[in-house]
Amino acid sequence: MEKKIIATTSLAGCFGCHMSILDIDERILDLIELVEFNKSPVDDIKTFTKPVDIGIVEGGCCNSENVEVLRSFRKNCKILISLGECAIMGGLPALRNGIPIEECLREAYLEGPTVGLNTTKILPNDDELPMLLDKVYPCHEVVKVDYYLPGCPPRADLIWDALVALITGNELALPYEVVKFD
Amino acid sequence: MKDRIFKIISKYNGDSSRLMDILHDIQDTEGYIAGDIMGLLADLLSLSAAQVEETVSFYHFYSDKPRAKVNIYLNDSVTANMFGRAEVLKAFEDACGISEGEVSEDGQLGLFSTSCIGMNDQEPAALINDKVFTRLTPYRVSQIIADLKSGKSLDEITVESCGDGKNALPEVNATVYNNIRRKGALLNNDYPFYSVVRDMLPNISSEEIIDIVSESNIRGRGGAGFPTGLKWKFGSKARGERRFIICNADEGEPGTFKDRVLLTEYPEMVFEGMAVAGYAVGADLGLLYLRYEYKYLLNYLNGILDNMRKNNYLGTNVAGIEDFNFDIRIQLGAGAYICGEESALIESLEGKRGEPRDKPPFPVEKGYLNLPTIVNNVETLATVVKIVKNGADWFNKLGNKDSVGTKVLSISGDCRFPGIYEVEWGMTISEVLAMCGATEVQAIQVGGPSGALIGKKDFGRELSYSDLPTGGSMIVFNNSRNLLREVVLNFTNFFIEESCGSCSTCRNMPYVLREKLLKILNGRGVKQDVEDILQWAKVLNVSRCGLGQTAANPIVSSIRNFRHLYDALVQKEVDYDSGFDLESSVLESCKVVGRQPIFHHH
Ligand SMILES: Cc1cc2nc3c(=O)[nH]c(=O)nc-3n(C[C@H](O)[C@H](O)[C@H](O)COP(=O)(O)O)c2cc1C
Ligand code: SF4
């Protein structure tokens, strides 16, 4: 069987979902037999070098760069998966939704208890920096997403089972313990 | 200030279940309900501070911040918008020098928006403090504000434009019109008030009354259509040391205003109906829950009650009937559509947030103060009086097989003669439209936003509980109207605004559906969005009360009956579009930090 190509990225996430990917432990050796990683922090490839079968996205979109990366994933990947709470719902970063951006920036850079070092009192505005979005968007509100793997982070077994199912074309078993809410 | 609060609380004997009245009084004397007052109330009423605050924050007409001396609440209903709300709002803004949602710097004038105030046949309308002003035009607005600024009182201003019928009585003095266009068995003036209580009750048993009501086959006129006789029977059998009768005059369904007219012209019959119900089930207290928007009727109605007490139609041994003690109190609401739902209404009567209860138990078993309680609509109670007077057979001859009797309709929108029409059940929509002088009709909303938006192919259908049920609201839209933008969006906003917030389905799904609708209206929709709406709306069925269960009706019934409007708007070439727009979503943050947006188009 030809190896499937995989790409992964972390947008507005904490890399916890990626840690959970690594949590498949020694099965990562089996995974390497099944897939080849392309653009991903796992192998540190920065740009897409070939068409990808499965793209895995951690985190939602909080800035323009997230949107650009997500759009490039959609363009280069046949199948796109939202991995984890932040990609699916916006997650913790989305707590800022509903608070005016000005208030968030003021708190973060001018008035919060930890801003003592910002002696120049400027809000970051360099053209090199990504632009903040009006709110944090889950991935599927920006591009089409094919599959969702919930969890914060999703359990390693779930990630493993889902990948194996996708790669082998078998149906994913979803027993009650996996889909229950609490 | 403390002394005034003490006085108010002792007026209500420190009874925490009277919190609604206490808050109304405080708002009247202090202007608003400040945080420290809430703390004081909590101490004095043995409530937690959170309990006081959650009630204050729930209702539209309580405020924890100073409002102006004169507060203008401009109605935002669909008909207000159809008949020039935008221009009227602009006139208010220009005349007051403030925008919607603001209070002028000198604290004199405040301008706010509010949900339907029950004046759909005379829009645009506004509440100014507690006075209703209808048929507003930019000219009239500039006059009102000029008069106010020159020191005239609201009462003086109203006198110049007083409405018809009893609206012109000095104790009402409202710029409100009854617009009664057609009278039938209920509204024709052939009934000598109080004759049932005075002449019949002393000679008839409570069981016989319940039998008459049951045999008449009357069903509730408030929307849900529960058989009234059966409700009374349950209530009379339920165990409890006291029983209560509640008359539901919350009338919040946009487009309904018939209860207002009944309470203006026939309050005697409504109160008499409550007394008859009280006699039938063995209640000793009746509560009329009057929506805040009808506060201008409060003094007038209390006057009628006083008069009834004087004549012993209320009080102890009513009409000389030994041990039949029954009195009526009017409870003023504070602006919340959900308080029309009977269990939310009861919570509100007990001084709490108007959040519906889980059912069962139903109010007939555990209602007000957890005791057996009958909740009936204004029209139901007034009609029962005539049924008892004229007999069940008389009533059964009216209407059709499935729905007996008459229904008082509130008709508004694009028709020559908006107003009140009493018709027999079974009338077709075509007849209704002809009756009110509607032409070039594109659609009619039957039963308010929670009902259905129907088009030509359904105009042959009949008003009845089994075909097209209605609490009375009928809003007509002609061919010039943009149904989705003007009507469906407005109704959906209404439900989002008025949800009590308890159920996650009702709190979220209408919002999600509105986003879909807006996306479609903005040309970014795809066919799948329409399918998604139909699928997703189903989750609302698990909501606790009728508000959530019907909140998707405007969107869903417009898709079912006006699919072509959606088909014309969705994109044909693409099958997926998230609707996301990077350019507009970074505008705000770039402005805040002071930089020009730059986009790398690949
Ligand atoms: C959201 C909602 C709002 C309601 N509003 C009213 C109302 O304003 N007036 C009314 O009589 N019934 C209203 N009802 C129906 C009441 O819950 C109740 O069924 C009715 O008052 C019973 O009286 P009836 O049997 O005489 O119709 C509403 C129900 C819901 C779910
Ligand atoms: S359905 Fe809506 S209005 Fe009714 S109880 Fe639930 S949240 Fe409240």
Chain segment B212-240, per-residue pLDDT in tens: 999 999 999 998 899 999 999 999 999 99
CB contact under 8 A, A131 and B602: no
Contacts of B598 in chain A (CB under 8 A): 127, 131
Q: What is the pLDDT of residue A182?
A: 60
- Within 8 A of A143 by CB-CB distance, chain B residues are 578, 580
- CATH code at position B85: 3.40.30.10
Q: What is the pLDDT at residue A181?
A: 63
Q: What is the mean pLDDT of residues A24-34?
A: 90
Q: Does residue A108 form part of some domain?
A: no
Instruction: Tell me, yes or no, whether A44 lies in a domain.
Output: yes
In a domain, B303, yes or no: yes
Question: B348, B40 in Cβ contact below 8 A?
Answer: no
- Residues B388, B414 within the same domain: no
Q: Is residue A172 part of a domain?
A: yes
Q: What is the mean pLDDT of chain B?
A: 96
Task: Please tell me whether residues B438 and B300 are part of one structural domain.
Answer: no
Segments forming the whole domain that contains residue A171: 4-95+134-179
Structural domain includes residue B340: yes
Q: How close is the Cα of B545 to the center of ligand 2, in Å?
A: 5
Confidence band of B402 (pLDDT split at 50, 70, 90): confident
Give the residue numbers spanning the domain of B421. 406-478
Residue pair B372/B235 in contact (Cβ under 8 Å)? The answer is yes
Among A134, A141, A143, the residue with its CB nearest the CB of B588 is: A134
Question: Looking at the domain assignment, is residue B49 inside a domain?
Answer: yes
Task: Give mean pLDDT, residues B321-343.
Answer: 97
Q: How many domains does chain B divide into?
A: 5
Residues B350 and B418 in one domain: no
Give yes or no for residue A132 having a pLDDT over 90. yes
A60 inside domain = yes
Is there a domain that residue A128 lies in? no
Task: Tell me, yes or no, whether B62 lies in a domain.
Answer: no
Smallest Cα distance from A98 to chain B, Å: 13
Please give the tally of structural domains in chain A.
1
> Is A107 part of a structural domain of the chain?
no
* pLDDT at B601 > cutoff 70: no
What's residue A174's pLDDT? 85
**What is the CATH classification number for the domain harbouring A86?**
3.40.50.700
Residue A47 lies in a domain: yes
- Tokens linked to B534: 């139909």
Does residue B600 lie in a domain region? no
Mean pLDDT in residue range A102-117: 89
Among B448, B463, B478, which residue terminates a domain? B478
Question: With 90 as the cut, is the pLDDT of residue B440 above it?
Answer: yes
Query: Are residues B80 and B145 located together in one domain of the fold?
Result: yes
B367 and B376 Cβ atoms separated by less than 8 Å: no
Inside any domain, residue A148: yes
Rounded Cα–Cα distance for residues B196 and B344 (Å): 31
B470 and B494 part of one domain: no
Q: Give the pair of three-digit tokens for residue B136.
A: 């507003």
Cα separation, B553 vs B453, whole angstroms: 8
The CA B502 to ligand 2 mean position distance, Å, reads 5
A26 inside 8 A of chain B by CB: no
- What pLDDT does residue A130 have? 96
Same domain, B247 and B312: yes
CATH number, residue B237: 3.40.50.11540
Q: Which residue of B has its CA nearest to A145?
A: B578
Kindly list the protein residues whose Cβ atom lies closer than 6 A to any atom of ligand 1. B 220-224, 226, 248, 250-253, 338, 340-342, 375-377, 380, 545-547
Could you report the predicted ipTM of this complex, rounded to two decimals? 0.92
Phi-psi region of B520 (alpha: psi -120 to 50; beta: other; left: phi over 0): alpha
User: Among B528, B575, B588, which would you mutate to test the A interface (most chain A Cβ atoms within 10 Å of its Cβ)?
Assistant: B588
CB B331 within 8 A of CB B341: no
Q: Counting one residue from A and one from B, how many pairs have CB atoms under 8 Å apart?
A: 57
Which of B160-174, B267-281, B461-475 comes out lowest in average pLDDT?
Answer: B160-174
- Asked if B593 and A105 come within 8 Å (Cβ–Cβ), the reply is yes
Q: Is residue B270 part of a domain?
A: yes
Task: Yes or no: say if B147 and B134 are a contact pair by the CB < 8 Å rule.
Answer: no
CATH number at residue B498: 1.20.1440.230
Pair (B111, B139) in one structural domain: yes
- In tens, the pLDDT along A44-73 reads 999 999 999 999 999 999 999 999 999 999
Number of the ligand closest to the Cα of B449: 1
Same domain, B332 and B199: yes
Q: Per the domain annotation, does B227 fall within a domain?
A: yes
Residues B205 and B256 occupy one common structural domain: yes
Same domain, residue pair B457 and B497? no
Q: Are residues B302 and B376 in the same domain?
A: yes
Q: How far apart are CA A111 and CA A116, in angstroms?
A: 9
**In the beta sheet, which residues pair with residue B420?**
B180, B410
> Would you call A68 an interface residue with chain B, using a CB distance cutoff of 8 Å?
yes
Task: For residue A110, list chain B residues with Cβ-Cβ distance below 8 A.
Answer: none
The pair of structure tokens assigned to B434 is 């002809």
Give chain A positions within 8 Å (CB) of B588.
101, 134
What is the pLDDT averaged over residues B20-44? Answer: 95
**Residue B183 belongs to a domain:** no
How far away, in angstroms, is B377 Cα from ligand 1 center? 7
pLDDT at B602 over 60: no
**Closest by CA position to B395, among listed B404, B407, B385:** B404
What are the structure tokens assigned to B589, written together?
Answer: 């943050």
> B522 vs A58, B481, B495, CA distance in Å?
30, 17, 21
Same domain flag for B334 and B225:
yes
| Peptide bond connecting B124 to the previous residue in cis, omega within 30 degrees of 0 | yes
